[in-house]
């Protein structure tokens, strides 16, 4: 019997983290859960820790440290708090794979620490590559670390490339559901509500990514992530709207052949593939039936209405800290929309104003990314 694989889940109380725990629970003989971390959701973190008995938990919100520590004291689970603890726990010798499922920029620093410690990365935090793709891919290469994508689209591309790594990619197509506002005009988008934006037609996700999906910013961020994961140029990445979310993405090779990865929309599958690669473990997930979907349709995204997509391409082409600036602006803008401080269309406007009004650093070091992120957030606050 092979040795169990030690797993750290960063962001265990979020949508990806909770589903990852379901995957681990299905294969107790294969996985050994070492670390759980959460930002603010102490109650769920405590509940998860008591159920799954990890070696260590981290709550980054230090004000909740005592509460978590008291709750887990009898279970003999190590409890730490704060950002630095998050970066240190991923370096543990018992950890083989780090699943980074934190939301947004917060995922960058612990991911860097995990790569430096030689850990395999299962990446659900696309912002890590959006913000600092150059830095991350270079570091992973130096340390001989594999990064396995968890995003359904990037997992699909990766699955299409297995057995094809020696064949150059001509083009990839990332599929998008189109979100809840597919087919809307700019006029219609002026009056959409937060409640409408949070109703995604196909996927169950956290609030931030659901809003990004509605504005097509999520697809823009995925385009940038794909560039770094698969070593592509902007013109090699295309986005196609596919409302049924059955074809998760496609790869086109130099001979003109296309490979697609298909299945029902369920994040547990890409999570599991990233944790078990190169094996595929048997699951009891519902199976796709062609007769339930007699028609699969495809259309172009409406870039004149959903302007975030072009902003992402602009940032990718500009290079340097551009994507870091765009990501920070978007995180702040989405937070303002979730707090009902701005309208849905103002998200894209803020993103555009900050990206176009910021001086970029072209060959950034880590500190440059930190400053670019902070400056962009300050600019959004000033515009608000």
Same domain (yes/no): 38, 104 = yes
Question: Which pLDDT score is estimated for 1?
Answer: 58
Q: φ and ψ at 10, to 5 degrees?
A: -90, 115
- 77-113 CB burial, b ≥16 within 10 A, e <16: bebbbeeebbbbbbbbeebbbbbbbbbbbbbbbbbbb
In a domain, 324, yes or no: yes
Burial class, 22, CB count within 10 angstroms (exposed 0-12 / middle 13-18 / buried 19+) = exposed
Beta strands in 157-236 (DSSP E): 169-176
- Distance between CA atoms of residues 114 and 90, nearest Å: 5
247-253/258-262 β-pairing: antiparallel
Same domain (yes/no): 261, 335 = no
End-to-end CA distance of the chain: 58
Same domain (yes/no): 169, 233 = yes
Any residues with CB less than 8 A from the CB of 235 and at least 6 apart, and which?
Answer: none
C-beta contacts of 358-361 below 8 A and 24+ residues apart: 358/325, 360/318, 360/319, 360/320, 360/321, 360/322, 360/325, 361/320, 361/321
Ordered DSSP codes for 67-132? HHHHHHTTTT-EEEESHHHHHHHTT-TT--EEEE---GGGGHHHHHHHHHTT-EEEE--THHHHHH
Same domain (yes/no): 225, 123 = no
In a domain, 216, yes or no: yes
- Distance between CA atoms of residues 196 and 56, nearest Å: 39
Q: Residue 116's Cα: distance from chain center in Å?
A: 20
In a domain, 276, yes or no: no
Which residue, of 307, 335, 365, is where some domain finishes? 307
Same domain (yes/no): 100, 180 = no
Same domain (yes/no): 122, 43 = yes
- Distance between CA atoms of residues 301 and 347, nearest Å: 18
- Do 322 and 373 meet the contact criterion of CB atoms below 8 Å apart? no
Cis peptide before 278 (omega within 30 of 0): yes
**Collapsing DSSP states into helix, strand and coil, what is residue 255?**
coil
Same domain (yes/no): 64, 205 = no
Question: Which pLDDT score is estimated for 32?
Answer: 98
In a domain, 69, yes or no: yes
The parent domain of residue 104 ranges over: 5-149
- Do 58 and 35 meet the contact criterion of CB atoms below 8 Å apart? yes
Domain tally, the chain: 3
The CATH number linked to 329 is 1.10.1740.10
Same domain (yes/no): 208, 186 = yes
**Over the stretch 108-150, which tens digit does the pLDDT of each residue have?**
999 999 999 999 999 999 999 999 999 999 999 999 999 999 9
CA dihedral 368, 374, 378, 379 (to 10 degrees): 40
DSSP state, residue 236: G
**Collapsing DSSP states into helix, strand and coil, what is residue 206?**
coil
Residues of the chain with pLDDT under 70: 1
**Collapsing DSSP states into helix, strand and coil, what is residue 6?**
strand
Same domain (yes/no): 68, 211 = no
Treating both helix axes as pointing N-terminal to C-terminal, what angle do 217-230 and 308-318 enclose, rounded to 10 degrees?
A: 30
Same domain (yes/no): 12, 130 = yes
Sign of CA dihedral 107, 112, 115, 117: negative
Count other Cβ atoms within 10 Å, centred on residue 298: 12
Same domain (yes/no): 248, 360 = no
Tokens coding 22: 């379901």
Tokens coding 77: 């689970």
Question: Which pLDDT score is estimated for 203?
Answer: 76
Which residue, of 110, 131, 149, is where some domain finishes? 149
Same domain (yes/no): 222, 130 = no
């Amino acid at each position: 019997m092979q040795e169990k694989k030690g797993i750290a889940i960063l962001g265990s109380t979020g949508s990806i983290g909770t589903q990852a725990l379901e995957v681990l629970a299905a294969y107790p003989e294969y996985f050994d859960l070492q670390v759980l971390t959460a930002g603010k959701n102490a109650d769920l973190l405590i509940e998860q820790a008591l159920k799954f008995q990890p070696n260590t938990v981290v709550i980054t919100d230090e004000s909740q440290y005592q509460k978590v520590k008291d709750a887990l004291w009898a279970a003999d689970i190590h409890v730490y708090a704060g950002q630095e603890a998050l970066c240190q726990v991923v370096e543990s010798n018992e950890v083989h794979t780090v699943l980074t499922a934190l939301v947004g920029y917060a995922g960058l620093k612990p991911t860097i620490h995990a790569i430096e410690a030689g850990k395999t990365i299962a990446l659900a935090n696309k912002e890590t590559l959006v913000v600092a793709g150059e830095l991350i891919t270079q570091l992973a290469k130096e340390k001989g670390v594999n990064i396995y994508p968890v995003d359904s689209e990037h997992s699909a591309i990766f699955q299409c490339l297995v057995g094809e790594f020696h064949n150059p990619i001509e083009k990839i197509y990332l599929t998008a559901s189109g979100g809840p506002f597919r087919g809307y005009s700019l006029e219609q988008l002026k009056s959409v509500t937060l409640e409408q934006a949070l109703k995604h037609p196909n996927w169950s996700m956290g609030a931030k990514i659901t809003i990004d999906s509605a504005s097509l910013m999520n697809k823009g961020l995925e385009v940038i992530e794909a560039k770094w994961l698969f070593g592509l140029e902007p013109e090699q990445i295309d986005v196609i709207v596919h409302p049924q979310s059955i074809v998760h993405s496609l790869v086109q090779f130099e001979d003109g052949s296309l490979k697609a990865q298909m299945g029902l929309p369920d994040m547990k599958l890409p999570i599991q593939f990233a944790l078990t690669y190169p094996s595929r473990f048997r699951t009891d997930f519902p199976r796709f039936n062609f007769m339930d979907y007699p028609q699969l349709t495809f259309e172009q995204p409406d870039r004149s209405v959903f302007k975030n997509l072009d902003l992402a391409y602009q940032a990718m082409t500009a290079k340097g800290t551009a994507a870091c600036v765009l990501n920070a602006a978007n995180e702040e803008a989405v937070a303002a929309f979730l707090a009902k401080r701005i309208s849905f269309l103002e998200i894209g406007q803020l993103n555009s104003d900050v990206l176009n009004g910021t001086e970029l650093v072209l060959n950034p070091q880590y500190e440059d990314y930190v400053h670019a992120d902070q400056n962009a957030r300050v600019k959004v606050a000033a515009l608000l």
